[in-house]
Chains A and B, each alone.
Chain A
Amino acid sequence: MGTYLLRRLIGTIPVMVLISLLVFLLIQAAPGDPTLMLLGEDSTQEDIDQATKRWGLDQPIYVQYVKFFMSAVQGDFGRSFKYDEPVLDVIINRIPATLELASASVIIAVIFAIPLGVWAAAKPNSWVDNTGTTFGLFGISMPSFWFGIMLILLFAGILNILPSAGRDTYGISGEPITGFYILDSALQGNWAGVRDGAEHVFLPALALGSNMLGILMRVTRSSVLEVMHEEYVTTARAKGLVERRVLWRHVVSNALIPVITVVGLELGTLLSGSIIVETVFSWPGSGSLLVTALNARDHPLVTGLVLVYTAAFVAINFLIDVLYAIIDPRIRY
């Protein structure tokens, strides 16, 4: 397995190189003169010539790409136009918020999806199954950002019991340690902070997780149904085990393998879903940062975020493969 993982790890290098090339070409294809954009419309020809030379824009395109690639590898994506700080610093500040939201979404999705899926599969074609499957389909068909807006309307607007924007009520959370507000508050014994953080994260996490919830429910259901027909399940029943024990001990533990893979695969969708859900809930994460950067035409920041997001996605896919090899002993490479 070690050699397989090593081969797989090395395989991601050319992919990342080609991704950076694709992003670089996209930037090149962007209409408008980058020097003009940076210097302003009223710059003189002399200024432009100087800047072109200084930034190496007069050099052949492959030289420019090599420069771009070498600095990207070192984490140098340039300075953000909007924040006037190194791009990487701006991004790193926003990452904990996104991770906190994403973890909360996964937790919500898993907590609801797995029991529902198992329940539906245990009684195929019953009302439980039909209702569950229908709701699963709803989750898949619902645009998460619209669901988010509707949640705001219901819980913040009409019922007025949950906050509709941001990560915390100002001044409630203590000093940041890890950047995860809920965790930080818990570490400092600040229970009001934990509660406040949880209240803030609930709606966006539900909106972001609804899609994953639907998919996971369906995958769990079909996976459990499939395992139900395995011979060892018949054996378990034949030796007189109670149905509940057969279901949870023998069926579910084996049926969860594909479910875990789907959780991993869906993390990527969650990552891009966060871009739009964070915008809806004014969640100060890297997703809403991307939207801000797009609107401000902050190209270095957009480039940095796209590369960071893609690298994260590639890393997630690699980790799923590792996890898959660990949890399923039947898989040998």
Chain B
Amino acid sequence: MGQPGAGTTRRGGQWWRPWMRTKVYMGGSIVVIFAIVGALGPYVAPYDPNHQSLETMLQAPQWFWGAHFLGTDNLGRDILSRIIFGARVSLLIAFAVVFISGFVGVILGATSGYFGGNIDFTIQKFVEVVWAFPPLLLALSIMAFLGQGLGNLILALVAQRWIQYCRVTRGQSLSLKAREFVISAKSLGASDAQIIARHIIPNLIQVSLVIGTFAMASSIISEASLSFLGLGVPPEIPTWGTMLADGRIYISTAWWLALFPGLSIFVTVLGINLLGDALRDVLDPRLKRAGTYI
């Protein structure tokens, strides 16, 4: 870290290993497709995702031969359109969560490692407490007590997700602060805030990028889990999780209700994980041992 030139040439050869290339291409294209479909949402969706119709209730997928490519749900809503709008919601939420978690986590991690002492102790105690909750349980409690809503949902998903950033960047800034360029900046009279913002944080970007990719994948799953339990966004917004919750009820009669939204989650998360794997191998192989991919 810190001197990108030295690192990348040494590992340059790895990048072109066939499996790695496959990972990047597969993961990349999945993510790009879903992102484009999500972004274009209203323009590509064949129907209004909330348009209900008794006449078209529970129709099986008609592929290219009918009006509803992936069929319709119990209220006659077009599944493909709902999946497209779901992509939009899921990706937007995941993006917001990753960005906010990264922002909070990196700043706290950098501050914690750079200052040490009491500041470090306080931040790390807080990290320890929040991390002591089983994954998802804190998010569940926040949603349960504070109520449904987009803001609360993002808060609930950020609640534990900033910690991974904080822990890794703390360790890195501990070693960064002893490096010559930080010491020389200090001797030139730079303030602590300047050093953190100009010299520490830029060196934490690479590692945060890798953590962010995996955080994106886990946010999508957590958001779907919360929505599945009815604790996510309000019911009028179509998401993959709420679609799955409906699909579960009709599983014995209408398999397409549960298959497609779940498949969308699975494929998106798989794509992001593939990208993350490749990114980690290229940027920072040491992370493999830190268990970040879990």
> Taking beta carbons and an 8 Å cutoff, which residues of A are in contact with B?
14-16, 18-19, 22-23, 26-27, 29-31, 125, 130, 137-138, 140-143, 145-146, 149-150, 152-153, 157, 215, 218, 222, 262, 265-266, 268-269, 271-273, 275-276, 279-280, 290-291, 294-295, 299, 302, 306, 309-310, 312-314, 317
For the complex, give the distance between the alpha carbons of A18 and B251 in Å: 43
For the complex, give the distance between the alpha carbons of A16 and B132 in Å: 8
Are A262 and B291 closer than 8 Å at their CB atoms?
Answer: yes
B146 interfacial by beta-carbon distance below 8 Å: yes
A145-B244 contact in complex given A15-B132, A30-B146, A294-B140, C-beta closer than 8 Å: yes
Between A138, A143, A149, A294, the greatest number of chain B beta carbons within 10 A of the residue's beta carbon is seen for A143
Q: Which of A19, A222, A268, A280 contacts B248 (CB 8 A)?
A: A280
Are B262 and A295 closer than 8 Å at their CB atoms?
Answer: no
Are A143 and B262 closer than 8 Å at their CB atoms?
Answer: yes
Q: Which of A125, A137, A157, A268 contacts B135 (CB 8 A)?
A: A268
Chain B positions within 8 Å of A14 at CB level: 125
A-B contact pairs, 21 of them (CB 8 A): A15-B129, A19-B132, A22-B129, A29-B146, A137-B273, A138-B266, A143-B224, A146-B244, A149-B247, A149-B258, A157-B255, A268-B134, A269-B134, A272-B134, A275-B140, A280-B248, A294-B140, A295-B230, A310-B137, A313-B132, A313-B133
Chain B positions within 8 Å of A313 at CB level: 132-134, 137
Are A141 and B142 closer than 8 Å at their CB atoms?
Answer: no
Q: Which of B132, B144, B274 contacts A302 (CB 8 A)?
A: B144
Q: A137-B277, A140-B273, A268-B134 are in contact. List 12 more A-B contacts (CB 8 A).
A: A18-B129, A19-B129, A19-B133, A22-B129, A29-B145, A137-B274, A140-B293, A150-B262, A275-B229, A279-B229, A306-B141, A313-B132
Q: How far is the CB of B195 from chain A (nearest CB, A)?
A: 31
Chain A positions within 8 Å of B224 at CB level: 143
B60 interfacial by beta-carbon distance below 8 Å: no
Q: Which residue of A lies closest to B139 (CB)?
A: A272
Chain A positions within 8 Å of B207 at CB level: none
For the complex, give the distance between the alpha carbons of A149 and B246 in Å: 11
Are B259 and A150 closer than 8 Å at their CB atoms?
Answer: yes
B228 interfacial by beta-carbon distance below 8 Å: yes
Q: Which residue of B lies closest to A28 (CB)?
A: B145
Chain A positions within 8 Å of B128 at CB level: 15
Chain B positions within 8 Å of A262 at CB level: 291, 294
Are B134 and A130 closer than 8 Å at their CB atoms?
Answer: no
The 9 closest A-B pairs by CB, nearest first: A146-B262, A272-B136, A141-B270, A30-B145, A141-B269, A18-B129, A313-B134, A272-B134, A26-B145
Chain B positions within 8 Å of A31 at CB level: 146-147
Q: Which residue of A lies closest to B144 (CB)?
A: A294
Q: How far is the CB of B277 from chain A (nearest CB, A)?
A: 8
Chain A positions within 8 Å of B125 at CB level: 14, 18
Q: How far is the CB of B33 from chain A (nearest CB, A)?
A: 16
B252 interfacial by beta-carbon distance below 8 Å: yes
For the complex, give the distance between the alpha carbons of A146 and B224 in Å: 10
